Chains A and B, each alone.
Chain A
Amino acid sequence: MEERLKLLSRAMQAGTVAVAVAGIVTGNLTWVPAAIIALFISFIPSILRHDLNITLPIELNFWIVLALFLHVVGGFSGFYNTIPGWDHLTHMMSASLIGALGFVTVVIVDKYVESIHLPRPFLAFFILMFTMAMGALWEIMEFANDSLAHTKLQYDLTDTMLDLLFDAFAGFVVAVLGVHYLLRVSADHFVESLNVDEARDKIVDYLQKRKDSA
């Protein structure tokens, strides 16, 4: 399973590279910057692992690459215009991704900050609120972009409302899956498996060295 997910991730990264190359070759440059940025983002988990030894769950890693891949390939192939609901699909993917990253962050905060304790039901509620808040901020950003740069990111009210509805759905699913995950793997174990301890030591070391040399 893990190997397959890894292989698929690599294949999708290759696909993103292909979009960038094809864009440059055919002179269709609209999606080239997006492809390059997406490629860079998709390598951030690997960079984290290499430099800080932080290992994100393989499923989360896969999800990151999948969301970026669908956005870039869909954009390049014109799926946003030709396939109805494509924008809602990618929107939901990224909303669930944001929710999942929020989940990982808040579980780490819960473990490391002594004065914070967040039981699982609250965690679920927090994730739903976090995803919705980020979704609303995203819509504000699109609106600001449309107003200031005269782009056309928001079609109409129905489109925006469907985006928010999918945000809510994604937040709900991530909340349920996250809490279910913590029922099977304890939060302590989960945080340990991310290797955050080691990363923190490394960062503290690094800061100490900079202080000493200054």
Chain B
Amino acid sequence: MAARSGTSSLLTAITPEAIIEAELSWIASMVLFFATVYTVLKLDVLWAAFGIAAISLYVLPIISTRNPFRALPWEMTILLAAPMLLHISSGAGILLEHFGWWRHLTDLAFALSLATIGLLLTVELQMYTDVRMNRPFAMLFVVMFTMGISGLWQVGEYIGDVVNHAHNLASNRQVMMSFVWILVGGMLMGFVYDLYLKAMSENRKRTLGLIHLWEVPKWKRD
């Protein structure tokens, strides 16, 4: 009984904007979820790991606060899911054959997604551990994380190629161009997320109840 009244008071406290915000985010997370299930079923190891990591970061705040409205901003969730969709959709293969720049676009999408995971890591590490960062350090971390993971990723792809006698990585040139685009995307997102956090309205920050950690004024370690 007590639990039920608690739930209803929770629901009445939620504004219509918050509900729309959360619904958009849930829809985006479903895309991420089914894309991940697909890669797991296809035993696409790297992408499955990527999807599971992204989903874990998505559900962690929801589970730990037992509040489904603590969902990530929907635009971040879409960025998380985008490279997986580009990777698994059959249309992507055709586009890849016909347009040379399509590969660069997918690399860029991958960078945006990796940078998003990096940013979520900085936020959630501060929520759940005693790691503390200031903004410049966090932005540096986002760029570094994007580059570092993409380095490990290419090695992973290469090992996969050797083990499976496949040729997913065509040439040195192609891998290097991926790196260049991922560097561009990572650095871009470092700046973009800095501006994004500054530009987000107080109202929305409160609704999300997640990003506010950045704004702890003059946080100091004891």
Chain A residues within 8 Å of B, Cβ to Cβ? 109, 113-119, 122, 126, 128-133, 135-137, 139-140, 143, 154, 156-161, 164-165, 167-168
Contact = CB atoms under 8 A, between A and B. Distances in A.
Contacts of B151: 132-133, 135-136, 164, 167-168
Contacts of B144: 126, 129-130, 133
Interface in B138-182: 141, 143-145, 147-152, 154-155, 158, 169, 171-173, 175-176, 179-180
Q: Which 6 A-B pairs have the closest CB atoms?
A: A129-B148, A133-B147, A132-B148, A143-B176, A117-B132, A115-B134
20 contacts: A109-B137, A113-B134, A114-B220, A115-B219, A116-B132, A116-B137, A122-B131, A129-B141, A131-B148, A132-B147, A132-B152, A136-B183, A140-B179, A143-B173, A154-B172, A156-B172, A157-B171, A161-B158, A161-B169, A164-B155
B192 interface: no
Interface residues of B, number: 34
Nearest to A167: B151
B19 interface: no
A136 B180 CA distance: 9
Contacts of A133: 143-145, 147-148, 151
A167 B149 CA distance: 12
Given A133-B151, A140-B179, A143-B176, A157 B137 contact: no
Given A115-B134, A156-B172, A161-B154, A137 B220 contact: no
B175 A118 contact: no
Contacts of B143: 133
Nearest to A165: B155
Of listed B129, B144, B179, residue having the most chain A CB within 10 A = B144
Contact of A137 (B137, B155, B169, B183): B183
Nearest to B144: A133
B129 A122 contact: yes
Contacts of A140: 176, 179-180, 183
A130 B151 CA distance: 11
A160 B130 CA distance: 37
Contacts of A109: 137
A146 to B, nearest CB: 9
B158 A114 contact: no
B125 interface: yes
Contacts of A131: 148
A60 B38 CA distance: 47
B172 A122 contact: no
Given A136-B179, A164-B155, A119 B148 contact: no
A114 to B, nearest CB: 5
A164 B144 CA distance: 15
Contacts of B220: 114-115
Contacts of A136: 147-148, 150-151, 179, 183
Given A122-B125, A139-B176, 8 more contacts: A115-B219, A130-B148, A131-B148, A135-B151, A143-B179, A154-B172, A160-B175, A167-B151
A136 B35 CA distance: 28
Residue among A109, A140, A156 having the largest count of chain B Cβ atoms under 10 Å: A140
B18 interface: no
Contacts of A157: 158, 169, 171-172, 175
